[in-house]
Amino acid sequence: MEPTALLIAATLNAGTVLAIAALGLLINEKAGIVNLGAEGMMLCAALAGFATVVHTGSTLLGFVAGMAAGAALSAIFGVLVIWLNTNQYATGLALSLFGAGFSAFAGTRFVQEKLPEQVVHAIPVLADIPFLGNALFRHHPMVYACVALTLGLIWFLYRTRAGLVLRSVGESPESAHALGYPVRRIRLMAVMAGGALCGLAGAYVSTVYTPLWVEGMIAGKGWIALALTTFATWRPARVLLGAYLFGGVTMLQFHLQGIGVNLPSQLLTMLPYLATVVVLVLISRNPTWIRVNMPGSIGKPFYPGS
């Protein structure tokens, strides 16, 4: 029983990282922008968060620093693609390559650093329930915040006027422009919000999930988060479920090793990446399924008056 409870707990924790980043990317894509720079932003944010916690001892400040780093980098990306009309794929790729290089460069002196002892989180009473307590109620507050974020995003996107405007900008920027909405400013705000969430996910990785700093520690989570938005056909609730599914795949490797399955560790490490490919194939094979749900102007530049 207990190993299963711990597997569920680890799954939720791993899924939280992916979900926060993927929800951020979802906001971008709902506004019509694809940011392939997620991996780079998460790396820089992971470093920013880690360095902040090393200096201040406050995890909360670490999260703030991570969000700021993500938002700042995505602002550069946003200005390039929205105002200078650069290719979104190439610019995002530049951000990922730059982020990987910059975080490795700036992070060299943090490799040996250690973080203060982690606080144990447990919800009183609930945490003592057998099985469920270990599985659900001994998590970092971020795990619950992530569920709240998903619900909040559903409410924002589908129940508020601002959410409607955001989606209209992603569906048909020409119409939104004709109605008098500042399309480019809205897109920039969406890009920065998405960057901040990617940053939060990155900082969570380096300060809570695996509290250390090593070069390239995001290990493709940003790219998996990008795949998750497609997998979820751009629906927030499905993003969260998909993230937990992928978290489960990631954690399965440790579980399998724990129960004595004798497979090469490299094969197990491959699993999340292979799962991403398989899931992309399964979801993409039905073109109408994708087309019906995909924001209409995703990846397309918009320049008023051209």
Partner 1 sequence: MLRLEVRPQPSKAWGLASPLLALVITVVIGVCLFAALGKDPVRGLQVFFWEPIKSPYALSELMVKATPLLIIALGLAVCFRSNVWNIGAEGQYILGAIFAAGVALTADKSTGPWIVPAVLAAGVLGGLLWAGITALLRDRFNANEILVSLMLVYVAVQVLNYLVYGPWKDPMGYNFPQTKTFERVTQIPRLMDGSRVNIGLLMALGGVVAVWLFLFRTRAGYAQIVGGLAPAAARYAGFSSRRALWTALLISGGAAGLAGALEVAGPIGQLTPYVPAGYGFAAIIVAFVGRLHPVGIVFSAILMSMFYIGGELAQSRLGLPKSITGVFQGLLLFALLACDTLIAYRLVWKK
Q: Which residues bind partner 1 (CB under 8 A)?
A: 36, 40, 76, 80, 83-87, 89-91, 93-95, 97-102, 104-105, 108, 215, 219-220, 223-224, 226-227, 230, 264, 266-267, 269-270, 273-274, 276-277, 280-281, 284-285, 287, 290, 303, 306
Query: Nearer to partner 1 by C-beta: 112 or 306?
Result: 306
In the complex, minimum distance from the CB of residue 303 to partner 1, in angstroms, rounded to a whole number: 8
Q: How far apart are CA 193 and CA 153, in angstroms?
A: 12
Closest CA to 246 of 264, 224, 226: 224
What is the DSSP code (8-state) at residue 118? P
Query: Nearer to partner 1 by C-beta: 63 or 234?
Result: 234
R_g of the chain computed on alpha carbons: 19
Q: How far apart are CA 112 and CA 87, in angstroms?
A: 38
Q: Take residue 209 and report the two structure tokens written for it.
A: 């999930």
CB of 134 within 8 A of CB of 9? Answer: yes
In the complex, minimum distance from the CB of residue 180 to partner 1, in angstroms, rounded to a whole number: 19
Given its phi and psi angles, is residue 32 left (phi above 0), alpha (psi -120 to 50 degrees) or beta? left
In the complex, minimum distance from the CB of residue 106 to partner 1, in angstroms, rounded to a whole number: 8
In the complex, minimum distance from the CB of residue 245 to partner 1, in angstroms, rounded to a whole number: 16
In the complex, minimum distance from the CB of residue 39 to partner 1, in angstroms, rounded to a whole number: 9
Query: Nearer to partner 1 by C-beta: 59 or 230?
Result: 230
Query: Nearer to partner 1 by C-beta: 12 or 226?
Result: 226
Q: CA-based angle 114:115:116, to the nearest 5?
A: 125
Q: Compute how many other C-beta atoms are within 10 angstroms of the C-beta atom of residue 103.
A: 29
Query: Nearer to partner 1 by C-beta: 60 or 277?
Result: 277
